[in-house]
Amino acid sequence: MRYLPHGPADRKAMLQYIGASGPDDLVATVPEELRLRGPLDLPPPLSEMELQDRMSELSMKNASTGCYRSFLGAGAYDHFVPVAVDHLLSRTEFYSSYTPYQPEISQGTLQTIFEFQSLVCMLTELDVANASLYDGATAVVEALLMASRVVGRDRIVVAGTLHPEYLATVRTYFRNLGLSLTAVPWGDDGRVDPRALGAAVDESTAAVAVQSPNAFGVVERLDRISAEARAKGAAAVAVVAEPYSLGVLRGPGALGCDVAVGEAQAFGNALSFGGPYLGFMAARDRYVRQMPGRIVGETTDLEGRRGFVLTLSTREQHIRRAKATSNICTNQGLCMTAATIHLALIGREGLRGIALANRAKASYTAGKLAAVKGVKRAFAGPVFNEFVLDLPRPAAEVLEALRGKGILGGLDLSRWFPEMRQRILVAVTERTRREDSDAYAAAMAEVL
Q: Look at residue 77 in the predicted model and tell me its pLDDT.
A: 96
Amino acid in position 407: I
- Between CA 398 and CA 392 the distance in angstroms is 9
Closest to 264 in 3D by CA, of 139, 425, 146:
139
Query: Exposed, middle or buried, 252 (CB in 10 Å: 0-12/13-18/19+)?
Result: buried
The span from the CA of 432 to the CA of 100, in Å, is: 40
In Å, what is the CA distance from 298 to each residue of 109, 114, 250, 285, 307?
Answer: 13, 8, 27, 16, 6
Helix ranges, 175-294 (H): 194-200, 222-231
Three-point CA angle 297, 298, 302, nearest 5°? 125
How many angstroms separate the CA atoms of 174 and 163, rounded? 17
Could you tell me which of 75, 396, 26 has the C-alpha nearest to residue 265? 75
Residue 77 and residue 241 in contact, taking contact as beta carbons nearer than 8 Å: no
Strands (E), 62-204: 69-70, 128-129, 155-159, 180-184
pLDDT value, residue 274: 81
* Predicted pLDDT at 430: 97
> Looking at residue 214, what is its pLDDT?
98
pLDDT by position in tens, the chain (length 448): 566 778 889 999 999 999 999 988 999 999 989 988 888 888 898 888 998 899 999 988 888 888 899 999 999 999 999 999 999 999 988 887 777 677 778 898 999 999 999 999 999 999 999 999 999 999 999 999 999 999 999 999 999 999 999 999 999 999 989 899 999 999 999 999 999 999 999 999 999 999 999 999 999 999 999 999 999 999 999 999 999 999 999 999 999 999 999 999 999 999 988 889 999 999 999 999 999 988 999 999 899 999 999 888 766 666 666 677 776 666 788 999 999 999 999 999 999 999 999 999 999 999 999 999 999 999 999 999 999 999 999 999 999 999 999 999 999 999 999 999 999 999 999 999 999 999 999 999 999 9
Q: How far, rounded to the nearest angstrom, does the alpha carbon of residue 306 sit from its chain's CA centroid? A: 32
Whole-angstrom distance, CA of residue 324 vs CA of residue 315: 5
Q: What tens digit of pLDDT does each residue of 125-145 get? A: 999 999 999 999 999 999 999
